[in-house]
Amino acid sequence: MTAPQPSALAMVPFVSVADMMKLLNTIGVADMIAGIADEIEADYRRWPDFDKTPRVPSHSEEGVIELMPTSDGETYGFKYVNGHPANMARGYQTVTAFGLLARVDTGYPILLSEMTVLTALRTAAMSCVAAKHLAPKEAKTMALIGNGAQCEFQALGFQRILEISDVRLYDIDPAATAKVVKNLKDSGLTVTACATAQEAVTGADIITTCTADKQYATILTDNMVGAGQHINAIGGDCPGKTELHRDILLRSDIFVEYPPQTRIEGEIQQLNPDHPVTELWEVITDRKSGRTDSSQITLFDSVGFATEDFSALRYVHRQLEKTGHYINLDMIADPDDPRDLFGMVTRAQGAD
């Protein structure tokens, strides 16, 4: 007996790590970050359309595993993501992820994708969207504190979207900084390896902190941040993990993705629960002001939110037909009679 062939309804496009790298190299790193940034910004402009909830975490002494769901009423999406700072010493990635999109009307999935690479692209894109609306308009120099897996994507995204020309690097591990210098040598950026965080941020228009340690840390002290600078704090993403001294927050105008999540996980977990913050979607839609003068310190307290992953997955889904970088998985049981799942199983007995 010949094995039954799966129907079209049973097949779900799957983007593997290999396919994601093919997709990324076909489009180009900077252009793909820019495309995802456009998708994110468009979705922020329709922020009220989305179901929003803080991510669902499962914490352990070793790290955290999280689910990040959202829906716009037509499409549902979620990301599974972990954060395990000790993984690097084990030879593993600190962060890994995968994601899914599904139709709301049927519940059938329409995309399954790796999101370890895609999350790096999405995070860089989100940083660029925030800086586009909050950083000094003529910003040219960026400091990157924490030179791990996220670093190069941030640099190339800011070069493409905000026309940053100079990148100043610092990491407690000189080998991490050397890795970034090597990877960006043909980028056209002026890249400077710095001996201290203070050296890196001095003269920078934009400061991005992207460290991985799961602890209350002080990556930037109050004296290191001056008037007019914009900070993207993207490393803090769970309770008990911060990067900035509390006094920096008190001097800054703070912008966030979704306050119920950020107050638990972001830099502002150090502040009173009623400390004023502005939601970034309100700035993007001109409901509230972002940067208002040249001396203002603006801080994007980013923890990563589900709508951004939704935007990135939809961007990838739209590229599949054009690029062909995916395979179909037989994921959905599809019996001839929807009521006869058992019959489908028994008829498969003895099939080749």
User: Catalytic residue numbers?
Assistant: 237
Give the DSSP letter of residue 5.
P
Helices (H) and strands (E) in the chain, counts: 12, 17
Structural Rg of the chain based on CA atoms? 22
CB–CB of 150/210 below 8 Å?
A: yes
| Residue 132 to residues 145, 159, 278, Cα–Cα distance (Å) | 20, 12, 16
Q: Classify burial at 352, counting beta carbons within 10 Å of its beta carbon; exposed 0-12, middle 13-18, buried 19 or more.
A: exposed
| Residue 143 to residues 81, 158, 202, 271, Cα–Cα distance (Å) | 27, 11, 8, 25
Say which amino acid occupies 278: T
Neighbours of 140 (CB within 10 A): 14
Total residue count of the chain as it appears in this document: 352
Closest CA to 127 of 290, 304, 313: 304
Say which amino acid occupies 312: A
CB–CB of 3/348 below 8 Å?
A: yes
CB–CB of 87/93 below 8 Å?
A: yes
